[in-house]
Structure 1
């Protein structure tokens, strides 16, 4: 039969039952890279996927988002095998992403095993041996009841709990030698594909990097481990432990046991408590003569707007009057807006803002003078002056929400003591299981897909298509400045993906199967299939999640 290869725009003759990897010798001269996986009819599959019918195949390298995920997942299974063989009886827990790597802990009987440089050196040597012996990752599909028994024998209790709540008849998993594990997506053909990696001791665990040691040195030089981010993640992990929901399986069990209302109430109370603590700190700084300006910044769909409104309420309980302005009104006229590498207007650039006017206005407000706020018209692409007077009185603070709030260049002319910076992001700590974490960017992407569809009449297709550009802007303009924050607010809610499921799934199913974006839509649909649905009617109208779902008591 003929298989269409999208990379070469040609058909390749294939015998029924041959694997995708068997096509490579016939295409080697035409492919300028080494594939690590493939898109088969716009679904990510491993290279050992068997072909029994005509298909469209697009080979994918490790530099692409899909290829990168396959590379990292494969490395994680290698690390799991290394831990099992070097430290029998010790549990590996991959907690969350951090500093362009992944923070990992080792546990024995639920107690953290402190990691030393010697531990890391032994694990690294074992990883290199696995790479050099080039052991295949063998894809298996068995009845779920049999897979559960395999995982139970390997002490993978979180995986067992998840499978018991899903009620799938069959389960796909991988074997690496005698070790079995399942992952949220395909793996590489063999360990020899995973050439570059490194481990670095950090706190009581270590950071896992899917890159060479010299590149890790470059990354850590420009992006050292984020202490404030680490604390925010650690606090949330402790919260998960207290409410006894550390992974998706336990969340599903909580839903089935009618604990949904309890989870929602406790999670919402935690948000209120965190915002109250930030408000108290601002009030303290205000009494000391500073913090006249509160900057609220964070990546896309982190819930900055609701965070600003709820923080404003907390400030009023401290007898502080918040006055809110938007950085959007300080955009330069469209013809002066910087352009990105594609020649499109880059509204996410710091220099799309009139920094001189902004700093002048802020300085005057802090001196007690009255200013006239600008107004920007997106329809006309220029500033329109209206009568919008503003003055800060003694008990007032100016609250400004925008992506550049943590960048010191934004308020370069302002005394740093006058600026209190709050970083808002959905730092998801819920895990699928000990070896499969939930990406914070996936959480935010689902929020954005739902909000774009509901309020902006933008399809999931267009949101997915735009997302890589959004992520590049975040990497350039937001994440490098996160440690500048005076406070970090984790806007994730432990129950939210169960609620998002019913809103996101219908929109994602509208993405056409013959377009490249279907691969991402299918991946997200598969991810959401792990969650028991949670009805939204129990979520309070003040919840941050209402910013995306609707039904909020706040005006946007």
Structure 2
């Protein structure tokens, strides 16, 4: 009896392949036909690693390192190679821990603890070992073990962060990845072998080191390292906040929740944020010449609640603040420009009536009485409802919107009258020491929950629009963040455990045959790590309330 064959459709052409052929072998036939290496495949709508085997007739789509999921796979695989190289060079007995923290430039910032000296000689040896591992095209092997076996394994290898994490995981199995004898757990898929990870750099930076990687758009080259010093300092400060709370990983957080300590953690974290907001208000008041507080940040960073809380602190310093949302100056929706994909681009500056904004702000600065607009998101039009504003000498405008740091938005306003604040939700929590939580995931989850509650938008729609939102942020927000006078991190260390309760039902509502299902499934798997935190204990002035509801502010 002959070998069973299956029909496989790729790029509109159907061919036959034998049963159990690895997808990697099929992909080889198409080398050179894609604009970047194929990292994964989508088989009948399901994401698959290349070591998996053909089991039925199917349609296959390629996921390259130029795709978001493929790029994440590249970065994750590079981290695994880095960790193996570190332990190869130093020996396990000389390393207490290696921890990934946050993105810096196009790479990741790591720290290391243990007897081994972190110096240039060590980094050079690790980098050389990484290149050797890549050149050998070593297979990245995946195996599934029971959760109890994984916990015992992590304990044996002194990976106590992972042991703690999986003590709270309900799934019965854990997938481990290995290169040779080095084995670790990673959240997400891996490349098929080490030879895929050809482009990287490694160098010392700020008491740790950076694994610099190519960008999604240019997977074959390392961009110039351009650290954003202000954002790095804020991330470092947030990491120190986590250290003070004794929470660095999800396992640490789960331990606090299950042992009844989350109420104190919650209140301390909120108090830390309030102290920071008060500090910013003091700086504005001390300047004496500020009339426009410009608050900017990417989507779902909590700008509205922050502006209200800052206003309260400014009032406590003897000023009379007036919160203003730049969103109220949106042009009517049918006039909104479209991006290169034909989608309405609400994130571009041209979606704002800049002329009217400057006219109103200048008239307010001159002491005139101005009727303020309100944008109706349901009808997509700007409305005037008799809401007038007039400024006195102690009045100050607190203006929030994604373009707040861009001087093109406020071109007519005197520079010395502006105080710029950059706000973002910079997640300081890690899944474990080797698996970070991307800041973008935290903001996407916030947006899914908020938009479902306030705008009637499904999780499917929010996920579908997210790439457009991210493109807008890259173009319109991030280039200006270092121009801020002050930066504020709105992420709360406990928030994902709280958002879980709201986000999961919305994500479960996405059908398996929808394009957004892969992302929904990834986020649902991510939430499995968290023990939920009830929202009742969240203060009504918390930034988190902007997303889950119950805020004392009009958000």
TM normalised by structure 2 equals 0.92
Cα–Cα, structure 1 residues 55 and 351, in superposed 2: closer, same or farther, change >3 Å? same
Q: How does 1:233-312 map to 2 (within 5 A)?
A: 233-286=235-288, 290-312=289-311
Q: 2:200 aligns with which of 197, 201, 213?
A: 197
Q: Where does residue 449 of structure 2 map in the other structure? A: 450
Partner Cα separation in structure 2 for residue 477 and residue 354 of structure 1: 16
Partner Cα separation in structure 2 for residue 356 and residue 34 of structure 1: 46
Aligned residues of 1:37 and 1:60 also touching (Cα < 8 A): yes
Q: Where does residue 410 of structure 1 map in the other structure? A: 409
| Residue 543 (structure 1) shift | 1.4
1:102 counterpart = 2:108? yes
Cα–Cα, structure 1 residues 6 and 417, in superposed 2: closer, same or farther, change >3 Å? farther
Aligned residues of 2:8 and 2:57 also touching (Cα < 8 A): no
Partner Cα separation in structure 1 for residue 517 and residue 267 of structure 2: 36
Aligned residues of 2:201 and 2:222 also touching (Cα < 8 A): no
Partner Cα separation in structure 1 for residue 85 and residue 517 of structure 2: 35
Aligned residues of 1:209 and 1:216 also touching (Cα < 8 A): no
| Residue 336 (structure 1) shift | 5.8
Cα–Cα, structure 1 residues 282 and 497, in superposed 2: closer, same or farther, change >3 Å? same
Q: 1:36 aligns with which of 28, 35, 39?
A: 39
Local SS of the residue matching 2:110: strand
Q: Where does residue 214 of structure 2 map in the other structure? A: 211
1:461 counterpart = 2:467? no
Aligned residues of 2:8 and 2:59 also touching (Cα < 8 A): yes
Q: Where does residue 98 of structure 2 map in the other structure? A: 92
1:371 counterpart = 2:370? yes
Cα–Cα, structure 1 residues 308 and 26, in superposed 2: closer, same or farther, change >3 Å? same
Q: For each residue in 1:342-382, what CA deviation from the matched residue of structure 2 results, as whole angstroms up to 9, or x when unmatched?
A: 33442221123233333333233333333343455667766
Report the RMSD for the aligned CA atoms in angstroms.
2.5
Aligned residues of 2:6 and 2:19 also touching (Cα < 8 A): no
Partner Cα separation in structure 2 for residue 147 and residue 389 of structure 1: 63
Q: For each residue in 1:173-203, what CA deviation from the matched residue of structure 2 results, as whole angstroms up to 9, or x when unmatched?
A: 0110100011111111100011111123321
Local SS of the residue matching 2:209: strand
Q: For each residue in 1:69-115, what CA deviation from the matched residue of structure 2 results, as whole angstroms up to 9, or x when unmatched?
A: 11111000000011111222223211111222211112117xxx774
Local SS of the residue matching 1:171: strand
1:140 counterpart = 2:149? no
Local SS of the residue matching 2:470: helix
Cα–Cα, structure 1 residues 421 and 30, in superposed 2: closer, same or farther, change >3 Å? closer
1:182 counterpart = 2:185? yes
Partner Cα separation in structure 2 for residue 482 and residue 414 of structure 1: 19
Local SS of the residue matching 2:174: strand
Cα–Cα, structure 1 residues 327 and 58, in superposed 2: closer, same or farther, change >3 Å? same
| Residue 453 (structure 1) shift | 1.6
Partner Cα separation in structure 2 for residue 495 and residue 544 of structure 1: 12
Unaligned runs of 5+ in 2: none
Q: Where does residue 166 of structure 1 map in the other structure? A: 169
The number of residues matched between the two structures is: 547
Partner Cα separation in structure 2 for residue 253 and residue 376 of structure 1: 44
Q: Where does residue 489 of structure 1 map in the other structure? A: 488
Cα–Cα, structure 1 residues 145 and 459, in superposed 2: closer, same or farther, change >3 Å? same
Partner Cα separation in structure 2 for residue 467 and residue 323 of structure 1: 31
TM normalised by structure 1 equals 0.92
Local SS of the residue matching 2:153: helix
Q: Where does residue 19 of structure 1 map in the other structure? A: 22
Unaligned runs of 5+ in 1: none
| Residue 216 (structure 1) shift | 6.9
1:395 counterpart = 2:394? yes
1:529 counterpart = 2:528? yes
